[in-house]
Amino acid sequence: MAYDYPAMAATAQKVRKYLLAKGKTTAKVKVARNNSAIKAVEINDTIIDLEALLKSLSFPGKVTDLSSADIQSISGKYKAKLVEIVQSIQSAGLTKGEKFFFLNTFTEQGSVKTKELTPSELKLDSSDYTTLDSFDRAVNAGISNLNVPTEVQSAMFELFKNVSKNNTKTDTILFSATTKNALEKLKPNDRQAVGKDFGEVLSLRWYLTQPHSEGWTKFGFETGSNAALVDYYVYKKVK
């Protein structure tokens, strides 16, 4: 999508003044590191969800996702969003239809402990698997038995469902709207833990549906999930 960066930068300045007037003293305008024309409204607030944050400030804005490339250009580290003003705010000089980039730099401590979501903690390293159905049942049972917050379990269920239903022969699996929503509810540190530790399970499930895995007979994880440089193993017939 093509953006009018100068116009959006001007809008960002007006939005910053609006937020300051509302008592959000951390509000500032951030300049993108690699493109000085890109400017975003940056805030550090305990309300992680930007849509909920705008609602709490009586700000009439529609929040939409940005592409990974856009996020990288705007902030790199934090999740930036695009906001469109849906109702003019005369006192702030903001007009319906204006757009700006918005990000929250608040980092909330996560609830998941180190290696709490690994295949070992999910009890997936106790046996080999010879069918996808048996593996899927074991994964879902393992997630259900974890002693972690409900939102973490929900995100793991959605991610696994998203990957296990994939029928494409590709390196990239698009997230469903439900999966995206579940991930958005996670604290940043918990989201990172899911990606790092549960990612081993997702990676294996994806691999088993790709052409280069054809002919597999059994698969699984090393006991304790501690084998150096080995996330999982797959046995297959070699023609």
Query: Which structural domain, as residue segments, surrounds residue 84?
Result: 5-104
Same-domain check for residues 97 and 21: yes
| pLDDT at position 185 | 85
The model's pLDDT over 117-154, given as tens digits with 9 standing for 90+, comes to 999 999 999 789 999 999 999 999 999 999 998 999 99
**For the chain, what's the residue count?**
239
Say if residue 14's pLDDT is above 90: yes
Look at residue 111 and tell me if it is in a domain: no
Same-domain check for residues 99 and 22: yes
Look at residue 126 and tell me if it is in a domain: no
Average pLDDT over every residue of 50-67: 91
Same-domain check for residues 78 and 32: yes
User: How far is it, in rounded angstroms, from Cα 38 to Cα 91?
Assistant: 25
26: helix, strand or coil: coil
Look at residue 124 and tell me if it is in a domain: no
**Contact between 108 and 188 (Cβ < 8 Å):** yes
Q: What is the DSSP string of 39-102?
A: EEEEE--S---HHHHHHHTT--EEEE---HHHHHHHTSSS-EEEEEE-S-BGGGTB-TT-EEEE
pLDDT greater at residue 157 or residue 72: 157
Same-domain check for residues 18 and 87: yes
Same-domain check for residues 99 and 136: no
User: How far is it, in rounded angstroms, from Cα 64 to Cα 101?
Assistant: 10
Look at residue 56 and tell me if it is in a domain: yes
Look at residue 180 and tell me if it is in a domain: yes
| pLDDT at position 2 | 85
Q: Look at the block and give the residue holding tokens 């300051």.
A: 20
Least confident of 49-58, 72-81, 88-97, 115-124: 72-81
Average pLDDT over every residue of 200-210: 93
Least confident of 9-13, 104-108, 207-211: 104-108
Say if residue 229's pLDDT is above 80: no
Same-domain check for residues 100 and 151: no
Last residue of a domain, one of 104, 120, 140: 104
Beta bridge partner(s), residue 236: 216
| pLDDT at position 108 | 60
Number of Cα atoms under 13 Å in the Cβ half of residue 95: 5
Say if residue 18's pLDDT is above 90: yes
Query: What is the bridge-based pairing of β-strands 39-43 and 99-104?
Result: parallel
| pLDDT at position 224 | 64
Look at residue 153 and tell me if it is in a domain: yes
Look at residue 166 and tell me if it is in a domain: yes
| pLDDT at position 109 | 66
| pLDDT at position 114 | 80
Say if residue 201's pLDDT is above 70: yes
Same-domain check for residues 16 and 79: yes
| pLDDT at position 127 | 86
| pLDDT at position 83 | 96
How many structural domains comprise the chain?
Answer: 2
Percent of the chain's residues with pLDDT above 70: 95
pLDDT band for position 110 (cuts 50, 70, 90): confident
Last residue of a domain, one of 84, 104, 124: 104
Contacts of residue 213, Cβ cutoff 8 Å, sequence gap at least 6:
207, 234, 236
Same-domain check for residues 15 and 84: yes
| pLDDT at position 104 | 87
Same-domain check for residues 100 and 137: no
Mean confidence (pLDDT) of the chain: 89
Sheet holding 61-64, edge to edge: 28-31, 39-43, 99-104, 80-85, 61-64
| pLDDT at position 226 | 53
Same-domain check for residues 97 and 138: no
Look at residue 109 and tell me if it is in a domain: no
Same-domain check for residues 77 and 169: no
